[in-house]
Amino acid sequence: MLSHVIDVLADPIDGSPLSGVDQFSRLVSESGHSYDVARQGYVTLAAGKGLRYSGDDSDMIAARETFLSRGHFAPFVEAISHTVADVLDDAEVPEGAEPVIVEIGAGTGYYLSHVLDSIEGARGVGIDVSTPAAKLLSKCHPRVGAVVADAWARLPIQDSSVDAITVVFAPRNASEFARVLKPQGEVVVMTPNVGHLSELREPLGIIDVEKGKIDRMIAQASGHLVPVGEPETVEFVMNLDQASIATQIGMSPSARHIHPDILAERIATLPSSMAVTARATVTRFTKA
């Protein structure tokens, strides 16, 4: 619910604090701007002409929800939850402090809800530019506030208010992350690595992860964020049937590049069940 995180939200126009009025049916800033809370519980916080992107559409979000609910990415969610717990331990966040975790491009809230389950009292802000995602995000956990916002714009978050930011296969805005992090706060980024879904690339005609992606990400963040320790790679093998493969591709950018009929034909040529590698890297960053 937005009321749990209202103290960290900010007016996207001028950064002033927001408060809930009319039983949290609107958020109003100190400078007088008003933002309606949708009946599903999320709020759109965008300045000026609004959002430039619409993010993942409802089919992609539904595919993501189905795939993740089958537990195929469980080792990824474990890795994110453990890493956020380590970040809070290293920052010596005291018990009962109700730390704030912001997830950028939070999708269905799969990762954020698991993180909040694993950290007592933690509160979460799930940010995504997709309205279908925000509808699920707002229901994913009682201590999550769901916000539709563009990760490339000024984040609707107060300066120095966030204990940890998580980004899983989603956009990274290093300068904004540095602005909203507390002094001991960190960003936890999960990026796909070379070898991810490798067994599906050729038969389905999907593009591979580029080499050097992690080094490029670190270089792009420089001046704002610096890595903490060495990036850690999480790799495991999933046993996927054709339906799960269809949802995995349906939730990825490939869904936009391959015609659904062609994709269905290619998937039908695969074995009824096959071993597919999942491979991603977790990198921690602190303020430069």
Ligand X SMILES: C[S@@+](CC[C@H](N)C(=O)[O-])C[C@H]1O[C@@H](n2cnc3c(N)ncnc32)[C@H](O)[C@@H]1O
- The answer to whether residue 69 forms part of the interface with ligand X (CB under 6 A) is no
Which burial class, exposed, middle or buried, applies to 124 when counting CB atoms under 10 A from its CB (0-12, 13-18, 19+)? buried
CA dihedral 102, 103, 105, 111 (to 10 degrees): -160
Of 12, 99, 107, 145, which lies in the binding site for ligand X, with binding defined by CB under 6 A?
A: 107
Cα separation, 6 vs 28, in Å, equals 11
Binding-residue total with ligand X (CB under 6 A): 22
Of the two residues 87 and 93, which places its CB atom closer to ligand X in the complex? 87
Question: What φ, ψ does residue 201 adopt, rounded to 5°?
Answer: -65, -55
For residue 152, state whether it binds ligand X (rule: CB under 6 A).
yes
Identify which of residues 42 and 110 has a Cβ nearer to ligand X in the complex.
110
**Closest of 181, 157, 177 to residue 221, by C-alpha:** 177
CB of 151 to ligand X, least distance (A): 3
Strand order across the beta sheet in which 18-21 lies:
18-21, 26-29, 34-36
Residue 151 binds ligand X, judged by CB under 6 A: yes
Beta strands in 11-74 (DSSP E): 18-21, 26-29, 34-36, 43-44
Pick the closer one to ligand X by CB: 93 or 280: 280
Q: Phi/psi zone of residue 16: left (φ > 0), alpha (ψ -120 to 50 degrees), beta?
A: beta
Which positions from 129 to 148 touch ligand X by CB under 6 A, shown as an x/- string? xx--x---------------
* Percent helix, percent strand, percent coil in the chain, to nearest 5: 35, 30, 40
Name which of 40 and 273 has its Cβ closer to ligand X.
40
CB of 166 to ligand X, least distance (A): 8
Binding mask 168-207 for ligand X (x = CB under 6 A): xxxx------------------------------------
The reply to whether 126 sits near ligand X by the rule CB under 6 A is: no
The structure tokens 């009319």 sit at 22
Q: Among residues 8, 9, 56, 238, which is the contact residue for ligand X, using CB under 6 A?
A: 56
Contact between 5 and ligand X by CB under 6 A: the answer reads no
Q: Which residues contribute to the site for ligand X (CB under 6 A)?
A: 53, 55-56, 64, 105-108, 110-111, 127-130, 133, 150-152, 168-171
